[in-house]
Structure 1
């Protein structure tokens, strides 16, 4: 199965992987800055998100992404992932170390992470609402949980639309993604780990641990950010990401 995707721009390739609240549209604010900086951008929707159908058998998001990269014949690329997309980016970077030129993780989840009390409580409440058919309630729970204080009404509306669509589509799903099974020591690419001071503790803790587990990783905490800094202050985050990309694989002039 090939994931729904789009490609735009010219230059070295950057692959953008979305969170499990959003779909590939979450990266809309980063497209123009990345193009202007000289990068080609690939965005995809995981199964059950955006324009990609749900799965009716076992699957792995990371393996799906690798299959897409093979389909596009991409042998060198940077990875940028948000939340669950960050977890997938970690798995892909470990599975394809020779291909990944750099890895940027925004409030990323991590393979094998055991959720803390707040994340567990959120997951229980979400499952209860969805089991009762209360999609609007589950959507508003996501917004309350994940959007930081700088998220304006436009961002809230955009995230609300993406999350509602995902929940509606996923009602037909029989399977969820399974971890690819990787060792973080396999990752060789330079890695920028970004966290938000207003994010849930799980993701701040993951960001703090990753530099000790990934050899070439460094951590940057944004004091103003919630879970989606690329939506909350898109220009500032685009500048951070492009600066990091230019350190590792500068775009052609």
Structure 2
């Protein structure tokens, strides 16, 4: 499966992996910024998001990313992941550490921590809305839950459009199970920064602490103004952090 993607610029590679609330469009501003700074930037859509069709057979997001990198001749990159993209990024860096020059995890999800009550409550409400056919309600729930207070109304509408697209693609397809292999965060060798948002759900604060503890040498930073999607909520405050990290890795 070749994921829909954008590849722009020249220079050292940076891979931007999107949240499950969004698609690769969430990184369009940061992609342009990195290209201008002299980097080659890859933004894929995972299967079932954006312009990538929903999976029709067993799949694994991490393997999809590796296949895409192989097809493009990208041997090594800084990998940046938001939420679900952060989960995929940490697993990729654990399984193929030599291919990751730096790892930036932004409000990352993980398979290593059981859901907390706040996440279970969100999931139950979303399931109930979708089962009732209330896609508008499910979209509004996601925007309300995942977009922090610093975001503009325009940003909220943008996230809503991306989430709606994901629902349209996924609801039109049948359920297909993902196949995911085990991994060990202790195998990560890349310089790692774990970023969290003060206004995010408690679950993601716990994940950030776990990742910072288990990834060797990882540093952590909490953004006191951010919710779950800081690069969208206030890019003027997020972008310098991103550039600082990438430049620190690539020089």
The alignment's TM-score, normalised by the length of structure 2, stands at 0.97
Question: 1:66-105 residue pairs with structure 2 within 5 A?
Answer: 66-105=66-105
Other structure's SS at 1:127 match: helix
Deviation digits for residues 192-218 of structure 1 (CA, Å, limit 9, x no counterpart): 100000000011111122121000210
Deviation digits for residues 193-248 of structure 1 (CA, Å, limit 9, x no counterpart): 00000000011111122121000210000000000000011122111011011111
Deviation digits for residues 71-100 of structure 1 (CA, Å, limit 9, x no counterpart): 112111110000000000001111210110
Matches of 1:163 and 1:78, distance apart in 2: 26
Contact between 1:50 and 1:166, CA under 8 Å: does it hold in 2?
yes
TM-aligned CA deviation for residue 173 of structure 1: 3.3
Question: 1:178-189 residue pairs with structure 2 within 5 A?
Answer: 178-189=179-190
Other structure's SS at 1:108 match: coil
Contiguous gaps of at least 5 residues in structure 2: none
Matches of 2:148 and 2:182, distance apart in 1: 31
TM-aligned CA deviation for residue 176 of structure 1: 4.6
Counterpart position of 1:55:
55
Question: 1:232-251 residue pairs with structure 2 within 5 A?
Answer: 232-250=233-251
Counterpart position of 1:122:
122
Matches of 1:22 and 1:178, distance apart in 2: 22
Other structure's SS at 1:105 match: strand
Deviation digits for residues 156-211 of structure 1 (CA, Å, limit 9, x no counterpart): 11100000010011011321534332111111101010000000001111112212
Matches of 1:16 and 1:122, distance apart in 2: 26
Other structure's SS at 2:182 match: coil
Matches of 1:185 and 1:232, distance apart in 2: 32
Query: What is the aligned residue count?
Result: 250
The alignment's TM-score, normalised by the length of structure 1, stands at 0.96
Larger relative contact order (C-alpha < 8 A, sep ≥ 6)?
1
Query: Structure 1 residues 206, 9: CA separation in 2 closer, same or farther (over 3 Å shift)?
Result: same
Matches of 2:237 and 2:72, distance apart in 1: 30
Matches of 1:129 and 1:188, distance apart in 2: 42
User: Does 2:204 match 1:207?
Assistant: no
When structure 1 is superposed on structure 2, of 168-177 and 126-135 the one drifting more is 168-177
Counterpart position of 1:148:
148
Contact between 1:48 and 1:173, CA under 8 Å: does it hold in 2?
no
Matches of 1:162 and 1:92, distance apart in 2: 24
Counterpart position of 1:198:
199
